[in-house]
Amino acid sequence: MYDTQTNAPALWQPLLPQPHAQSHKYSRGYVLIQGGYPVTGAARLAAMAAARCGAGMTAIAAPEVALPIYASALLSVMVKPYAHAAELQTLLEDTRVSSYLIGPGAGISQDTRLTTLAMLATGKPVVIDADALTTFAGQTDTLKQAIGASCVITPHEGEFKSVFGISAAHDRPTRITQVMTAAQACGAIVLLKGAHTIIATPEGRVLINEQAPSTLATAGAGDVLAGMIASLLAQGMPAFEACAAATWMHAQAARLFGVGLIAEDLPGMIPAVLQALLKT
């Protein structure tokens, strides 16, 4: 039997990272995001969200061909171009990196799959989302073998079905059990997105986030959430609390914005959400 809590700030608020007088950009957490091509918007949304959540450094590793696109639309977020796999591997091995995100706009390919495995092999926290998840369709064993440290996977229902081979149930108890079983099967925290998002650890902790507004059902909202989780992980927040905090703040950002929300509105709302949480 499980004990399901509703997500609320009291569960993680004291663990929210904050800078201090000795902080420098790298000590505040360095998020490295794999940037895809030709779908470039998703990684940029994730990067803006990661930076707004407090990471001192956010970078996108992008294929050389996509450098002009990424660089022309980003200022504080760095773009690290690579020409071939060996150069990408060098970027991944940067010891200053403190978390990775792969999937948004990455493309469903062998390259994406290999890069995901290379990120996991570093032993640092990894968020696996979207296309990167799909490259492990039906292969939870492979994921489990590769996962060492903190790993969070963030499927929507379609991706959940392709990775775990089961359709997420509509009735809540069954759905929660499915997510908990999935987390045990792959050895990662599983965050099943939806109107009510369920977060479960392989050890059996589980939370349900219930305050998301339906305006979040918009393209790119999940990419923003993935960037937020990666940012809190990069800043050293424990993985379960990082997932809970990011999911709650993501929903709260949407609530504050109100109607007409598009994904690029979300990162700009994060400071107000954080400020209110850090004040209380």
Ligand X SMILES: Nc1ncnc2c1ncn2[C@@H]1O[C@H](COP(=O)(O)OP(=O)(O)O)[C@@H](O)[C@H]1O
Q: Which of residues 99-118 bind ligand NAX (CB under 6 A)?
A: 104-106
Residue 106 or 239: the one with the smaller Cβ distance to ligand NAX is: 106
Tokens describing residue 195: 């109107």
Which amino acid does the sequence have at 215?
T
Among 17, 35, 54, 220, contact with ligand NAX (rule: CB under 6 A): 220
**Interface region with ligand NAX, contact rule CB under 6 A, candidates 3-11, 19-27, 152-160, 250-258:** 152-160
Q: How far apart (Å, rounded) are the C-alpha atoms in residues 42 and 26?
A: 24
What, of ligand X, ligand NAX, none, does residue 157 touch, CB below 5 to 8 Å by kind?
A: ligand NAX
Residue with tokens 């079905």: 161
Give the Cβ contact number of residue 117 at 10 Å.
Answer: 17
Which residues are near ligand X by CB under 6 A?
A: 130, 156, 193-195, 197, 212-214, 216-217, 219-223, 225
- Nearest 5°: CA angle at 237, between 232 and 241? 90
In the complex with ligand X, the residue whose CB is nearer, 43 or 216, is 216
Contacts (Cβ under 8 Å, ≥6 apart) of 151: 120, 125, 126, 127, 128, 187, 188, 189, 239
Collapsed DSSP state (helix, strand, coil) of residue 126? strand
Known binding residues for AMP: 193-197, 222
195 binds, among ligand NAX, ligand X, none (CB under 5 to 8 A by kind): ligand X
Closest approach of ligand NAX to the CB of residue 20, in Å: 34
63 binds ligand NAX (CB under 6 A): no
Pick the piece of the chain touching ligand NAX (CB under 6 A) from 3-11, 38-46, 49-57, 81-89.
38-46
241 in contact with ligand NAX (CB under 6 A): no
Q: Annotated binding residues for (6S)-NADPHX, as ranges?
A: 42, 105, 156, 223
Distance between CA 105 and CA 55 in Å, rounded?
A: 21
Between CA 86 and CA 146 the distance in angstroms is 20
The one of ligand X, ligand NAX, none whose footprint includes residue 131, by CB under 5 to 8 A per kind, is: ligand NAX
Q: Name the DSSP class of 129.
A: -
Q: Which of 197, 223, 266, 269 binds ligand NAX (CB under 6 A)?
A: 223
DSSP 1-36: ---PEEP-GGGTGGG-----TT--TTTT-EEEEE--
Residues near ligand NAX, by CB under 6 A: 39, 41-42, 104-106, 130-131, 156-158, 219-220, 222-223
